[in-house]
Amino acid sequence: MILIMRIDIIGAGPSGSYAAYLLAKNGHDVSVFDKKQDIGKPVQCTGILSEHFLKIMKPSKEFVLNEVTTARIYAPNGKSVNARIKKNYVVCRKKFDSYIANLAKSTGAKFHMEHSFHSLAKGNRISTILYNKGKKVKSSCDILIGADGPLSPVSKAAGIYKNRKFVIGSQIEAVKKNDNCVEFYPYIGCYAWIVPVNEKVVRIGVSGYKDTVKELKEICKTKKIGLTLENQSGIIPIFDPSVKTQEKNIFILGDAATMVKATTGGGINQGLMAARILSECIKNRKNFDIAWRSKMHLNLYFHLIAHKIMQKFSITDWNFLIEEFSKPDLRKILHDESRDDIMKMMMKIAIKRPKLFIFAKYLAI
């Protein structure tokens, strides 16, 4: 028999709405609160999902704008590697977030927009204070979930936020004819990208700790990017291996728990996976912190290690590495392995090219 619980979720992004869907489907009384007026707006994301997405959800025409099967990785010397990749999906975040929220609504979850979480009130049950159009609102629940993005006010209120690091993702959607290939510039900022939305529109962005707007302007000039259609910039948390995701009956997931791949800034699949693990843990009364770590921690950690190493790369290192990736055996690994499973990918690369271990020296600096 299932014990019906009152569950409040702060944040109607993909992580929060997917958790709402799964928990309401399990019979719980779920309410989602978001400070925004509209779900998914403003867009602050490129919306590219690796093939790993298929393990979580079926892609739908309702939100998929494009499919991509080629990546082009550039070196500072201008050389590039074309790699076939498994099908990646480019989504419209407004439609994607609304799609998941509608799934949740269809299972009975209630959504309250323009409700900004403010703090926790003292009491026997978990009691939250929110503001709706300037008016104070109180809500009580058995379980509180913070799926409230990189700055996670819920983590702060629960006293588990600690120090966090972020990169800035400066991105625009703009007019640019293209050949439906994802372009990746790992040596610009922390990394830069051009992702095709359709044959005439791309999302182009730079992530980094500083100067991302300047770098974005430069790459737009070099690549002769046309009219800007939308600014879609935002902040991206760097995975913190010691992040605390559970404090009694308060749980944190998605960007709020820094569950983001440090080499690419991708966090949608990770937030969805964590939502699924959390709903299973609530159902089976298991420890969420242990459960998500057993499935996701190592990969997020390997992304972090790779990010740290690549921050130290010289131009010569990049030219050398990308030259190596132009060889068929390494290109095959890029095709066969998902970047969501970077551990397996790195292991295969290490077996083929033990000499690349030389870059581990940067961890000591």
Q: Which residues bind ligand FAD (CB under 6 A)?
A: 10-16, 33-36, 44-49, 116-117, 147-149, 153, 169, 171, 205, 232-234, 236, 254-256, 260, 265-269, 271
In angstroms, what is the minimal distance from the CB of 316 to ligand FAD?
Answer: 29
Length of the chain: 365
Shorter beta-carbon distance to ligand FAD: residue 28 or 115: 115
In angstroms, what is the minimal distance from the CB of 16 to ligand FAD?
Answer: 5
In sequence order, what are the residues at sequence separation of 6 or more whose Cβ sits closer than 8 angstroms to the Cβ of residue 282? 5, 7, 23, 26, 28, 143, 288
In angstroms, what is the minimal distance from the CB of 104 to ligand FAD?
Answer: 12
CA dist 293 and 301 (Å) reads 10
Shorter beta-carbon distance to ligand FAD: residue 75 or 300: 300
CA dist 109 and 25 (Å) reads 9
234-237 vs 166-175, strand pairing mode: antiparallel
Shorter beta-carbon distance to ligand FAD: residue 295 or 327: 295
Shorter beta-carbon distance to ligand FAD: residue 49 or 225: 49
CB 289 within 8 A of CB 333: no
CB 169 within 8 A of CB 207: yes
In angstroms, what is the minimal distance from the CB of 354 to ligand FAD?
Answer: 31
Shorter beta-carbon distance to ligand FAD: residue 98 or 269: 269
In angstroms, what is the minimal distance from the CB of 349 to ligand FAD?
Answer: 22
